[in-house]
Amino acid sequence: MSKWTALTVVLVLVGMVHSAMGAGEVVKLVEKPDVSGGNDYYVGNREPLLASPFVKLPIGAIEPQGWVRKQLELEADGFTGHLTEISKFLKKENNAWLSSEGVGDFPWEEMPYWLKGFGDLGYILGNERIIKEAKIWIEGFLGSQREDGYFGPRANLRGAHGPGGGCRTPESWWLMYKDSDQWKPVAGASGYGVEKNKYNRVTFDAVETDGLRLEVELQKEYSGGILEWRVF
């Protein structure tokens, strides 16, 4: 049922596009967009990362209408749009994010998490009140930029865990493949490296499967993650 539903949606969308095109133009279905030529208009993944088949459009490129716009207006008039009035993390007095030296109170990540959605909301709706408030915070933390490019609270350079904060490369990881309804480790693995900011290659005995996944063990008391993985 899901397959037919998806197919119907595709055909409807194609029909809509074709109706707006000239008689000599052709619409084709492809498995995925061609990314070999890169993108000259928007910033995307750079080598050695794989090119992304889709790129997020800049804020404001699409203007919401109808139900979606109403929901965004409710956010602007509600909790998101007025968080500065109730959150201790957004008090401007002695706030580390607004300090030209990057020192002060509340240096952790609550503010930037909020600001990303708050600022986008303002620009999407053209809400001058929100845009003005967002600029105070954006210009504030950018004003603390050092010669080496770092900006923001200096406490995040040190943190409770020293340089790098609380994030580290994994302690170990391994590759699993799906065998019927069970996940099993691949055989003949050549070794699982944990070097930072590079691909750590592993070879293994060939398997026939419809699923692969990574399992990761983090270093004790640290968070961590994997930026990208590829299978050949």
The answer to whether position 27 is within a domain reads no
The phi, psi pair for 184, rounded to 5°, reads: -130, 150
Beta bridge partners of 174: 215
The winner for highest mean pLDDT among 1-15, 129-143, 208-222 is: 129-143
What's the rounded Cα separation, in Å, for the pair 81 and 72?
10
Same domain, 150 and 102: yes
Domain end point (choices 158, 180, 203)? 158
The answer to whether position 76 is within a domain reads yes
Same domain, 152 and 209: no
The answer to whether position 21 is within a domain reads no
Same domain, 138 and 175: no
Residue 16 pLDDT > 50: no
Domain end point (choices 103, 132, 158)? 158
Residue 144 pLDDT > 80: yes
Same domain, 154 and 75: yes
Percentage with pLDDT > 70 across the chain: 86
Look up the domain containing 181 and give its range: 167-232
pLDDT at residue number 223: 80
Same domain, 148 and 171: no
pLDDT at residue number 230: 87
Exposure class string for 66-102: b at 16+ Cβ within 10 A, else e: eeeeeebeeebeeeebebbeeeebbeeeebbbbbeeb
Task: Name the domain count of the chain.
Answer: 2
Contact 35, 53 (CB under 8 A): yes
Same domain, 174 and 223: yes
Q: For 44-53, write each residue's pLDDT tens digit.
A: 787 788 788 8
Q: For 53-82, write each residue's pLDDT tens digit.
A: 888 888 888 899 999 999 999 999 999 999
Domain end point (choices 93, 123, 158)? 158
The answer to whether position 2 is within a domain reads no
